């Protein structure tokens, strides 16, 4: 029980850091009136470990709620499909890194929709999420720390979704890990798919 309480405290710290890092002067985007950037959470569908992951591996996460994106509805349980762009395992207690790109949403009928998804938070399964204010050019720069173990660097203007890092250990996300995203329609430059 003490371990759970400590873990929840760590999660709260991570959430506070992410909210602080992502806060902008734009209105809260729960309705996404502009249709440019929408907050979304999704559950990782498998383990992601820097020790075993390889460049090009597919990464999937299932939306936890319906997302409305410029007239397109991505219903709850839609799969966000991404890939590992690069991975560096920890050797001799060095820093590990995993660079991810989520750029497709796969609907229940099999239709795929091109998206731009920027990682804005990573939390244990079942965490209560609060979304920060979003903007089309938001950036997250959270360094790895002893409090929660992972660093997250992301920039909505970059082509990838974000970089996870850990000091002295491998980045390892369990099945069910909550991923928090800022999702927008794919731009012409970001919508070209390599077919991964």
Q: How far apart are CA 75 and CA 22, in angstroms?
A: 25
Let me know: does 137 contact 157? Beta carbons within 8 Å. yes
Rounded Cα distance between 82 and 102, Å, is 4
Strands (E), 133-186: 139-142, 151-155, 162-166, 172-173, 178-185
196 residues of the chain, pLDDT tens digit each: 444 344 434 443 343 333 333 333 323 333 333 447 899 999 999 999 999 999 999 999 999 999 998 888 999 999 999 999 999 999 988 999 999 999 999 999 999 999 999 999 998 888 787 877 888 888 999 887 654 578 999 999 999 999 999 988 999 999 999 999 999 998 754 443 334 3
Give the number of residues written for the chain.
196
Which residue, among 125, 123, 127, has the nearest Cα to 149 in the 3D structure? 123
For 16-71, write each residue's pLDDT tens digit: 333 333 333 323 333 333 447 899 999 999 999 999 999 999 999 999 999 998 88
162: helix, coil or strand? strand
């Amino acid at each position: 029980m003490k371990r759970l309480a400590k873990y929840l405290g760590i999660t709260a710290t991570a959430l506070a850091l992410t909210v602080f890092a992502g806060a902008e002067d734009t209105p809260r985007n729960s309705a996404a009136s502009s249709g440019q950037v929408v907050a979304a959470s999704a559950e990782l569908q498998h383990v992601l470990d820097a020790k075993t992951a390889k460049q090009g591996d597919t990464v999937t996460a299932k939306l936890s709620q319906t997302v409305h994106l410029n007239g397109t509805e991505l219903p709850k349980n839609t799969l966000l499909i991404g890939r590992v762009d690069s991975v560096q395992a920890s050797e001799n207690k060095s820093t590990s890194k995993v660079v991810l790109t989520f750029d497709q949403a796969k609907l229940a009928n099999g239709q795929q929709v091109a998206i731009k998804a920027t990682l804005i938070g990573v939390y244990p399964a079942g965490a209560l999420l609060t979304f920060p204010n979003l903007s089309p050019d938001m950036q997250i720069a959270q360094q790895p720390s002893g409090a929660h173990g992972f660093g997250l660097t992301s920039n909505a203007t970059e082509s990838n979704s974000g970089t996870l890092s850990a000091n002295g250990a491998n980045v390892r996300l369990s099945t069910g890990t909550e991923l928090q995203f800022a999702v927008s329609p794919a731009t012409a430059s970001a919508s070209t798919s390599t077919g991964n």
